[in-house]
Structure 1
Amino acid sequence: MRALDAVAVRQWADACVRSLDANREDIDRINVFPVPDGDTGTNLLQTMRSALDALLRTPADSVGTALAALARGALAGARGNSGVILSQVLRGLAEAAQGAATATGTSLRRALLRADELATAAVSTPVPGTVLSVLHAAAEAARDCTSDDLADIVTAAARAGTEALADTPRQLAVLAKAGVVDAGGRGLVVLLDTLAAVITGRPPAQLTTGHPPAQPPTPRDALTTAREAGSPEFEYEVMYLLDGTPDVARLKSTLEALGDCVSVVGDGADLWTVHVHCNDIGAAVEAGIEAGRPHRITVARFADQLTATTPTRFTRDRAVVALVTGPGTADLFRSEGAVVLDPADDLLAAITGTRARHVTVLPCDPSPPAQLDDAVAQAIAAGQDVVVVPISSPVQALAALAVHSETRRAGDDVVAMAEAAAATRRGEVAVSEHEGITWVGRCRPGDLLGMVDGEVVLIDPAADVGAMACRLVDRMLASGGELVTVLLGRDAPADLERALEDHLRTAHPEVELTTYPGGQPDQLLIVGVE
């Protein structure tokens, strides 16, 4: 490949998600710096999934627009410190390719150098032996490559990154003591190696220098050395998105007084991601309120993320199983970390196959499949803790997943998910298949039906889907709401999303609209209002 275009960017992003998914557990296991929270691989995977989701929902016809969509999606969905750094790497690539239809070797050289600058600036105190060292080595190798050929430059960068990763234990004592390489650096090498594979057409190189042993070679107390060596003990990771034009220097200074691992990074426009490790959660959020409009606030307690290493038939603590239809909806739930099933699947095999101690099931239908009760009962009898949350729509399940947190006790987490689902009003637009009597009159085959919480509230024989959707959303917003989530069905008109956007912009400018290609066969669209 002589130049990188929008199609190749999509191929790379998709391959990155698959590669990170395959390497996630190994990367999580070697995560010991700056704190041993065991989630770097998971954070990189979720951040890259968010980036890919944004790209797939953006009509990108050039490498510049494709990379910009990736960068913004990564920033909006960044998880952890590693996710923040990844968002800045993608932003650097996007800035170097801005306005370009394709990216050549020279463009990639500039992109890696810019990514190196932004990622370093994102960290309050850069430390040798981390992902920043790996990225810097890759950028320098690209700069010093004597060839301008795209394949030669990306190969040189990937090779230099791999060599720098192998050197990280000699730069950082905590890595040497644990007998591992840097987790974030290994994740970056996976991405570079995947990019090289897409461009050259060769299979990804085996990262022999980056793979850890099957089990950690040192006892668990070695993973807490950084805390015991005199560094302040910060128990929580606080992250949120920030809208506006904050005083970045002042915000960083405030957060640095509260904790460490501070980063305040943006997308080059008006969206920022804030990250800090601290003990005073309220003060960290208040700093964001003073600087702009914080939203999508997440808090994780590191102590709750450290799991016991005693062998057991359970390989994970939690899993969420969602019963959904429609390929787009299924992909959306997978991107949020759920195990996705079709209601007709073998539910018992799926629940036990998660190998999770606690399983939360989201039926996504007012009439869940008959075999669900039997499957749950058998799984509980076999020793699993399985709870079915009463959820009637996939939009309610998305609201539940948004508050799902493995840092809470399992029972508290189920309650939080149930409350979030109950607070989400559900609606849908479908085509009537039969004649019948509803609360608002007679309907005939072919009529459009607008339903709220399972009851028909609107009938339109004119079959104007856009008009019906706007009327339904207006009705649902009459009792309030800030966020409208829409899943577009398989047979939804192509202009339906635009019709909703235009209507809400004028009728409800204060409301945020999010749409996804659900692909469900039975409804033209499903609506959730929060």
Structure 2
Amino acid sequence: MQHEPQPQPADELDARAVRTWSSLAVAALGRAREDIDAINVYPVADADTGTNLYLTAESADRALAEALGTPPAGVSGTTADASLAEAVRAYAHGALIGARGNSGTILAQLLRGVAEVLGGEPGERGPGRLLAEALTRAAEEAYRAVAHPVEGTMLTVAAAAARAGETAGAAAASAADVALAAYDGARAALADTPGQLAELGRAGVVDAGGCGLVAVLGALWQALSGRQPAAEAVRGRAVPVPQPPRPCDADEQGGPGYEVIYLLEAAEPDVAQLRERLDGLGDSLVVVGGDGLWNVHVHVDDPGAAVEAGVVAGRPYRIRITHFGDERRRARGERVQRAVVAVVPGEGLAGLCAEAGATTVLIRPGETPDAAALLDAVRRAHAREVVLLTGGADQRAVAAAAAEQARADGVRVAVIPTRSAVQGLAALAVHDPENSFDEDVVAMTAAAGATRYGELAVAERQSFTSAGICQAGDVLGLIDGDVAVIGSGLDETAQAVLERMLGSGGELVTLVLGPEVPDALAERLEAYVQHGHLAVDTVTYRGGRYSAPLLIGVE
């Protein structure tokens, strides 16, 4: 359970203040996420802005905690030795690599702008003046990142916050006073958004992204002042403004059918050309980042072309493609034709599957969901046809029971008995709702079956295994469910498992890292694969909390 730190009232901009701000922002967005989702009508009425902002802030918070060596969102921590520059740069970087959706991508760029100022030399500027300049830079960077800025959006709210902060900063106000002025300016701007953007006015709501930004700025003021913003202080915050709600019909809106997001390693001149190519392919283009690493977001009808443009510019990875059709229909309460429900061990894996369009059931190690939980997920998917991906052999019986109950409700259900999360990812990768149900199920089953799976685990006690006797603390390398390697460390055991799995061939290696496993391990394993198997590609994901130390898939 996440605990909010207690802010210490002080006119200081230091690493501790940034850490507190981050934790409070995650908590504020967590409280508001469902309500913000409910008022999300622009640029796409897909009811996910609150969730995207929350996940982006959570990624930033996690990166900051790791950089400062502090427990995630803990009350106590050791930030005394960390500099302000280290804190804000880690905070912005975490948002960049974890940015979700249009709103999350803009939030990442706002934090980058803040980091550019607060991470530099303060000179003769006091904390208040420094913060005011940081907020101004943030708004400027956000506007530059959006290909075609629209007023009445999160950008408008950011600009208003910056202007109010500048006015306070010019009067030699404290950092807390500047934060309060920015917060108040953002609240006022948010209340005006329905009159600036037709989609908001028709739906009777304030801008969802701006609503989330107000929550983030409120957290900043709370971190610096020790005072908590009043929930009722923001007109329209997380609730519609007082007008009869008339959500815009997504089909009337038209627009591209897919959202494409990826991280990109590329030089700045190549990114400039990428912007031009993507701008011609679709809309809602936002490219944020710098120093060789970028987060690209665009809405297009041809997602393959958007990814190919990234390949031309540099190296795209963590590619996420979302089809808007199903999301829009769900937001309007309509049944979609087909959905996927996946049982996954790990929060990061659940996020990956959700990004691929699946409804997820998160389980802990050794846990088996009951039929009621799976049936609830099938019903939440709100589809006429459901493909159910089990997470292991021990879950087949409950999956079959849930499927039978769902069929009694009139839902057509097919169970694909995946035995590992990497098989589920492989099945999701070929899922095509445009195919017939039977064709889709056959293709997903074939992809899962063609994926060999491996896993690293740590032995809890001495035991007999198919590879010999292991001792407590040994690293076990499992292939297709059986212990194949017993080692003393993650690196050598993982390499031995990979070598055996690739001995029978393969074109793609998927690595899913557990929460305690460093990124350096993935880099070493990628280099190991490239050195010995030149034709094999490697993709890496974070499994998150509750996932195994390492999962390996070979297709």
TM bucket by the smaller chain? 0.7 to 0.9
2:484 is equivalent to residue 457 of structure 1? yes
1:247 partner SS: helix
Q: Distance in 2 between matches of 1:216 and 1:352?
A: 37
Q: Percent identity?
A: 40
Question: Which one of the candidate residues 107, 110, 113 is aligned to 1:86?
Answer: 107
For 1:170, give the aligned amino acid. G
Q: Deviation at 1:164?
A: 0.4
**Amino acid across the alignment from 1:29:** A
CA shift digits 1:112-152 (9 cap, x unpaired):
11211110001122222111110011111122113542322
Structure-2 residue corresponding to 1:471: 496
8 Å CA contact 2:396, 2:417 repeated in 1? no
Aligned to 1:170: 195
Q: Which residue of 1 aligns with 2:313?
A: 291
Q: Distance in 2 between matches of 1:99 and 1:417?
A: 51
Give structure 1 stretches of 5+ with no counterpart: 228-232
- Identify if the C-alpha distance between structure 1 residues 214 and 26 changes in structure 2 by more than 3 Å, giving closer, same or farther: farther
Cα deviation for residue 89 of structure 1 reads 1.0
Q: What is the deviation of 1:365?
A: 2.9
What is the distance in 1 between the residues matched to 2:444 and 2:58? 22
Is the contact made by 1:404 and 1:416 (CA closer than 8 Å) also made in structure 2?
Answer: yes
2:279 to 256, 260, 285: 256
Following superposition, the deviation at residue 53 of structure 1 comes to 4.3
1:29 aligned onto 2:38:
yes
Q: What does residue 459 of structure 2 align with?
A: 431
Alignment partner of 1:125: what SS? coil
2:265 maps to which residue?
243
Answer with 467-476 or 332-341: which moved more.
Answer: 332-341
Alignment of 1:28-427 (within 5 A): 28-59=37-68, 61-98=82-119, 104-145=127-168, 146-206=171-231, 207-213=234-240, 217-219=244-246, 233-245=255-267, 246-265=269-288, 267-307=289-329, 320=341, 322=343, 324=345, 329-330=346-347, 333=350, 337=354, 338-342=360-364, 344=367, 347-354=370-377, 355-356=379-380, 357-358=382-383, 362-368=389-395, 371-383=398-410, 387-397=414-424, 421-422=448-449, 424-427=451-454
Distance 1:202 1:436, change over 3 A: same
Q: How far does the alpha carbon of each residue in 1:178-198 deviate from its partner, in whole angstroms, 9 at most, with x for none?
A: 222122211211222233333
Q: Is the 8 A contact 1:139 1:157 kept in 2?
A: yes
CA–CA distance in structure 1, aligned partners of residues 166 and 433 of structure 2: 42
Residue identity opposite 1:307 in structure 2: R
| Helix, strand or coil at the partner of 1:262 | strand
Distance (Å, rounded) in 2 between the aligned partners of 1:443 and 1:483: 29
Asked if the contact 1:125–1:261 (Cα under 8 Å) also holds between the matched residues in 2, the reply is: yes
Whole-angstrom distance in 2 between the partners of 1:99 and 1:138: 21
CA distance in 2, matches of 1:468, 1:92: 42
Question: What residue identity is the alignment partner of 2:93?
Answer: R
Residue 396 of structure 1, CA deviation: 4.2
Partner of 2:357: none
How far apart in 1 are the matches of 2:159 and 2:48? Answer: 23
Is the 2:161–2:185 contact (alpha carbons within 8 Å) kept by the matching residues of 1? yes
Does 193-202 or 153-162 show the bigger shift? 193-202
2:438, 2:85 → 1: CA distance?
A: 46
Q: Following the alignment from structure 1 to structure 2, what is the Cα–Cα distance between the partners of residues 317 and 415?
A: 15
1:39 maps to amino acid: D
Aligned in 2, Cα 1:315/1:508: closer, same or farther, shift over 3 Å?
A: closer
Q: Which moved more, 1:148-157 or 1:61-70?
A: 61-70
SS at match of 1:263: strand
The two structures, once aligned, show a CA RMSD in angstroms of: 4.2
Cα offsets for 1:441-500 (capped at 9, x unmatched): x4355565432112333345xx4554333333443455456555244488xxx8x87566
The DSSP-based 3-state class of the residue aligned with 2:184 is: helix
Distance 1:335 1:4, change over 3 A: farther
Note closer, same or farther for the CA distance 1:501–1:235 as it changes in structure 2 (3 Å cut): closer
TM-score by structure 1 length? 0.78
Q: 1:268 to 1:364 in 2, by over 3 A?
A: same
In structure 2, give the amino acid aligned to 1:431. Answer: A
Aligned length: 508
Aligned-partner residue type, residue 71 of structure 1: A
For 1:372-396, what per-residue CA distance to the aligned partner results, in whole angstroms no more than 9, with x for missing partners?
5434433443455655442323444
Q: Which runs of 5+ in 2 are unaligned?
A: 1-7, 70-81, 355-359, 532-536
Per-residue CA deviation, residues 415-453 of structure 1 (Å, 9 max, x unaligned), is 776566555542234438566473x6x435556543211
